[in-house]
A and B are shown apart, each in its own frame.
Chain A
Amino acid sequence: MPPHPVTEEAAEAQTTPPRSPGEIFTAFALISLQAFGGALALIERTIVYRKRWLDPKEFLGLYAVSQVLPGPTGISFCVMLGDRFFGLRGAIAALSGFLLVPSVIVIAIASVFQQFQHVPQVQGALHGMGAAAVGLIITTALRMGRTLRGNRAGMVVAALSFGSVGLARLPVGTVVLSLGVLSVMWAWRSLGR
């Protein structure tokens, strides 16, 4: 790919659709291989500024939809983007690009660790990595919590969600279908005012 100065305006001015599902596969494989926690910025850079498949507005729209769709956001986004250009073939290309290559790598790493798991140092390293991974998850939760500042109804819903899944250990499905549905209905109504 020839290097060219990319500005937001330039990207907005002209978009070029991907030529084939294969190109989508490769793009998502490269994205996911560079993604160490948090693929969003990377996806945007590739799709909007380098490949110009979407303009920034289209990207945000598609991302918003993926976020609220049932299912993990990254997965939904792959499917929606691939489908937009090549239907089901494109969706499968994007999804497998996103998951296939990195899953081979992560399985390779996991089986190496498994092979040496009786070595105390390896076990210790895994314990350490596990603790840091928990820290990362807590950080994500805290970041999400900050967006609720001043939103009393939201805090109540979050507390109920934690109470029922984290403390009472109810199935996630039950909670999403009851509390989630009520919460969305509440939001729907308050948006109408």
Chain B
Amino acid sequence: MSTADLFALFLHFLSLSVFATGGAMALASDMHRYVVDDHAYITHTQFVNSIALAQAAPGPNILFVTVMGWQIAALPGALATTLGIAMPALIFPFVISRLSRMQQFDRLLKALQRGLGPVALGLMASTSFLLVRQVPGAWIGPAMIAATVLVLSYTRLPPLVPIAVAGAIGAFVPW
């Protein structure tokens, strides 16, 4: 991968980060288009692996972006994606200190929360839809997804439990 490609990758993640309303996972469908569909830097399976590994490892889920970058171009790739997602946040304190002097700051905050919440939900649904469509295994994959949703919705078990169990089962069933 050339330096120019790396820089473009960094810029893409940088510009995406600004729109991350409701977390980095909401951006997955855009990231997928860039790194899998348009540039074929990694395969769909590698893309899903990044998400799975980041959720299984300690640390915030946003690190799936780091794993993705690592799979694309080792350390330079990981730096490009991670810094791209994290760096725009560094300017916020300045923006906020300006805004908070505004008379109706509380109203603005509430309006942003109320207005962006449903958009964020639509984005998470889009990410879910993208990943569900290409799940591996004729029935075992869908069954594991359904079981995870049920376990996480109706018990208080931490997410790591279904991920570990599905990983252990997955190692020994034919896919």
Contacts from A to B (Cβ < 8 Å): 32-39, 64-65, 67-76, 78-80, 83-84, 87-88, 91-92, 95, 98-99, 101-103, 105-107, 109-111, 113-114, 121-142, 144-145, 147-148, 151, 153-167, 169, 171-173, 175-177, 179-180, 183-188, 191-192
Contact = CB atoms under 8 A, between A and B. Distances in A.
Interface string B56-80: 1111111100110011000000100
B8 interface: no
Given A37-B159, A72-B85, A191 B110 contact: yes
Nearest to B160: A36
A130 B29 contact: no
A75 B16 CA distance: 14
A83 B132 CA distance: 39
A161 B118 contact: yes
Chain B interface main SS type: helix
A93 to B, nearest CB: 12
A125 B172 CA distance: 8
A157 B18 contact: no
A130 B51 contact: yes
A160 to B, nearest CB: 7
A138 B128 contact: yes
A173 B129 CA distance: 19
Given A72-B24, A183-B115, A188-B107, 13 more contacts: A70-B19, A99-B60, A127-B136, A128-B173, A131-B136, A132-B167, A133-B51, A139-B149, A154-B117, A154-B118, A161-B121, A166-B125, A172-B19
A180 B141 contact: no
Contacts of B92: 69-71, 76, 79-80
B26 interface: yes
Question: Which A-B residue pairs are the 9 nearest by beta carbons?
Answer: A128-B170, A161-B122, A135-B148, A102-B59, A166-B126, A184-B115, A132-B166, A68-B112, A83-B93
A31 to B, nearest CB: 9
A188 B115 contact: yes
7 contacts: A102-B58, A130-B49, A130-B135, A138-B132, A161-B125, A165-B126, A184-B112
B33 A169 contact: yes
Interface in B75-100: 78, 82, 85-86, 88-90, 92-93, 96
Chain A interface main SS type: helix
B146 to A, nearest CB: 7
Contact of A33 (B45, B50, B58, B140): B58
Interface core residue of B52, B82, B131 (most chain A CB under 10 Å): B52
B125 A135 contact: no
Given A69-B89, A109-B53, A132-B163, A125 B20 contact: no
Given A99-B86, A144-B120, A166-B129, A35 B56 contact: no
Given A72-B62, A173-B16, A166 B29 contact: yes
